[in-house]
């Protein structure tokens, strides 16, 4: 009896093995077909009409004329025939776990847990604004690591993220905690002084989940007691940071306002200069020579001038930086320095990220296509993600947005995104609304 039972079980198992490939072959592949009015090729500026983007899972399979792409049984169609379709935008300088409230008490009383909750809200807002990928450059308590992981696990909605964890800085510098007096002995989590210490800190933040390293090469604006023009890390310290980061497969973003700090960070081999307020001709020449990206973070100046109410300890520094930053950014762009879009969102409300493009075009003189490339191809290249983001091409993530009108004629249209897909999942669809 037992032998007979074993024969039956073995036969059934063999039958399953033999029939599974046949069943798999007969199971239709589920596809999503985006029927687009026109699709922007961000490499060339070409706007092809009546295109269909075919998506399987989280990836783009093909882009072809709608007439040659019939619907198959099981396909899902998304009708965007009245819209212009383009790749999801990328912001390489965000602070999703921060809010634009710079009252010192608010800064001191916001726990890591609360910053993570703030981050969950801001991640959704940013995604729905059409930014399907971001770099988060600086967060307390590795809250951005948890935010990234929670998005990847499907617990909350948000963009693809690269995160830095705590930014590295010197004692008493922009990335330290300087609001409390001596007896509290409060020190920023990323503070490290000297070559050996900064090497250890790079390894530590990577240990706890950082995708990139953020450093403070100079003083900053929204910090107490430091000068944005003053260099902070030495050239030797920054070289040590970059050497360890690159050896361990991480890029380095340098907060740098002052000209000396910009030059040293560039010579040290950082991958991007963030802000660049006081950059001079020597800095610009060095950045071109070394191939660094420049991340201007310019719209925050306009927002602050119109809406900002900073505490007195920050207000004058913001006024001084705002007086020079745009003119120097314009010179760098005219000189041919590579530009990647970054906003510093959190200095102003999240979700307004696309206003940065308006500044690039209507104040800095970039063409709409060049501005769009800063938020797609260039940003993806800076992040090392050209194989997965930045354009609508087979093999890339199905990160797709759509707008009414033509953003290559009026880039401000991108401030009103009507459709957002990330990794093949639709997160916003207002395509029926004018």
Catalytic positions, written as ranges: 214, 344
In angstroms, what CA-CA distances link 87 with 133, 208, 389, 397? 11, 31, 8, 9
Distance, in Å, from the CA atom of 193 to the CA atom of 222, rounded to the nearest integer, reads: 21
Distance, in Å, from the CA atom of 280 to the CA atom of 328, rounded to the nearest integer, reads: 7
**80 burial via Cβ count (<10 Å: 0-12, 13-18, 19+):** buried
Measured torsion, CA atoms of residues 191, 349, 42, 148, in degrees rounded to the nearest 10: 50
Distance, in Å, from the CA atom of 356 to the CA atom of 343, rounded to the nearest integer, reads: 6
Long-range contacts of 403-410 (CB under 8 A, 24+ apart): 403/83, 403/84, 403/86, 404/82, 404/83, 404/84, 404/434, 405/84, 406/38, 406/47, 406/84, 407/40, 407/84, 407/86, 407/368, 407/372, 408/40, 408/45, 408/47, 408/368, 408/369, 408/372, 409/368, 410/368
Distance, in Å, from the CA atom of 318 to the CA atom of 295, rounded to the nearest integer, reads: 18
Tell me the backbone φ, ψ of residue 293, rounded to 5 degrees: -90, 145
């Amino acid at each position: 009896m037992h032998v007979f039972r074993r024969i039956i079980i073995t036969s059934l198992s063999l039958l399953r093995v033999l029939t599974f490939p046949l069943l798999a072959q007969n199971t239709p592949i589920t596809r999503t077909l985006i029927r687009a009015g026109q699709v922007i090729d961000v490499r060339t500026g070409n706007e092809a009409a009546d295109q269909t983007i075919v998506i399987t899972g989280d990836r783009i399979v093909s882009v072809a004329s709608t007439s040659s792409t019939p619907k198959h049984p099981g396909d899902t169609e998304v009708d965007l025939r009245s819209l212009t379709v383009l790749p999801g935008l990328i912001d390489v300088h965000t602070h999703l776990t921060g809010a634009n409230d710079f009252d010192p008490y608010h800064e001191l009383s916001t726990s890591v847990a609360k910053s993570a909750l703030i981050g969950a809200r801001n991640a959704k807002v940013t995604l729905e604004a059409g930014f399907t990928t971001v770099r988060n450059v600086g967060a307390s308590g590795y809250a951005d690591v948890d935010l990234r992981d929670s998005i990847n696990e499907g617990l909350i909605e948000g963009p693809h993220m690269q995160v830095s964890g705590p930014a590295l800085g010197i004692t008493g510098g922009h990335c330290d905690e300087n609001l409390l007096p001596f007896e509290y002995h409060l020190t920023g989590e990323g503070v490290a002084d000297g070559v050996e210490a900064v090497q250890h800190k790079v390894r530590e933040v990577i240990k706890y989940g950082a995708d990139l390293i953020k450093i403070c090469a100079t003083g900053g604006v929204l910090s107490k007691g430091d000068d944005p023009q003053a260099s902070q890390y030495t050239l030797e310290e920054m070289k040590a940071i970059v050497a360890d980061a690159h050896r361990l497969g991480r890029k380095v973003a340098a907060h740098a306002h002052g000209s000396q700090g910009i030059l040293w960070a560039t010579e040290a081999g950082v991958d991007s200069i963030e802000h660049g307020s006081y950059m001079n001709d020597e800095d610009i020449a060095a950045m071109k020579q070394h191939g660094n990206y420049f991340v201007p973070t310019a719209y925050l100046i306009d927002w602050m001038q119109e809406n900002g109410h900073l505490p007195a300890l920050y207000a004058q520094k913001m006024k001084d930086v705002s007086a020079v930053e745009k003119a120097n950014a314009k010179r760098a762009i005219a000189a041919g320095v590579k530009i990647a879009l970054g906003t510093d969102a959190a200095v102003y409300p999240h979700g307004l990220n696309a206003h940065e493009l308006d500044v690039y075009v209507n104040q800095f003189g970039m063409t709409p296509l060049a501005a769009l490339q800063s938020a797609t191809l260039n940003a993806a290249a800076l992040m090392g993600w050209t194989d997965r983001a930045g354009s609508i091409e087979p093999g890339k993530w199905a990160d797709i947005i759509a707008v009414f009108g033509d953003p290559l004629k009026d880039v401000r249209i991108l401030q009103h995104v009507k459709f957002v897909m990330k990794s093949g999942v639709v997160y916003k669809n207002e395509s029926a609304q004018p």
